[in-house]
Amino acid sequence: MGANLDTSVAQLGNYTYRLRGELYHRMGSLLPQPGEARKFAQLYISDSHAELDGRMGNFGGLNRDTMQSLQTMLHACNPYAIIYQTAAEWLQGGAIELSLRLVNDRRTNLRCYSAPTVDEVGALMVGGDVDEVDARDIVLRSTNGYFQRVSPLHSAYAPLHYVLLFPDGRNGWHDGIPLNGFQWDGSVFIQDDENTKGGKRGSARITMLQYYAYMLQHRVNQEWILRAGRLLQQFIVDAYACTEQNCLKFIRENQRQLCCDLYNGLQDALNAGDVLGNDVGQKMILPSSF
């Protein structure tokens, strides 16, 4: 995670997660640079003993038995962990150039609470062939020496970072989750019946704000996120930052639809010092420096 943390309001006894500016997640290569130790996702590309030793060495005060249980669970049910294991087998088999692609297409599994399969979330490419890759897909090289940013619009944005909140790797938010009453027919969203109502501007999709609001609601047998303690605070701040960034992205990319030429006309009028009338019939002159 990349963020400029603000600790000015932090006090003893009260954990506070506050940041300034933009928040983003980054991922490195599949293997560490020469002379560097494995860390984070790179630990999955090793045998189970080395992986556990690496986790115990990177953080102090951990219980080895608990970490062993968590590691075994993730290797059994998390599709991303399974993909990294497959990448390790390819590398051990002599694949020099290997790319791991985490796809962003979720049109085959649109339910936001469903756990994806390995085939849906990733693909291994020997020789670095990454043709026909979506702009938001994550492509990791064997050793490229730099970090790449993970788009908050990617369905793996949350499960890749908050592994213990989404141990089964279930999809995070993506722009293809239909509202209740809509279905995906393979090309467009269709209404179940004519009385089905859409969202704002007739949208048939769940917004990022609606998704995170849903995830933070208390529900029977799905309250583990609300029990995450400090990690819950970080997740909420992360969700808020992603939602705000997504709104700004929409405004930036849809200037024409938002009729910004009207604002430009108003600015021209202000710069020209046009005479405007108020509600009581009086007139005022707007100076060019207004």
Is 181 part of any domain? yes
Domain assignment present for residue 53? The answer is: yes
The answer to whether residue 46 is domain-embedded is yes
**pLDDT tens digits along 138-190:** 777 777 767 778 888 888 888 888 988 988 888 888 877 888 777 776 667 77
Q: Does residue 12 carry a pLDDT above 80?
A: no
**Domain with 174 in it:** 2-258
Pairing of strands 138-141, 189-191: unpaired
Residue 285 lies in a domain: no
- What residue has token string 């592994």? 163
Q: What is the pLDDT of residues 225-234, one digit of tens each?
A: 888 888 898 8
Task: Report if residue 266 sits inside a domain.
Answer: no
Report yes or no on 272 lying in a domain. no
Question: Please, are residues 273 and 287 in contact by the beta-carbon 8 Å criterion?
Answer: yes
Residue 151 lies in a domain: yes
Are 71 and 43 a contacting pair, CB within 8 Å?
no
Give the total number of structural domains in the chain: 1
Question: 180 with 166: CB under 8 angstroms?
Answer: no
Summarised one tens digit per residue, pLDDT across range 44-57 is 877 778 888 888 88
Asked if residue 189 belongs to a domain, the reply is yes
pTM comes to 0.73
Q: Do 128 and 97 form a contact (C-beta atoms < 8 A)?
A: yes
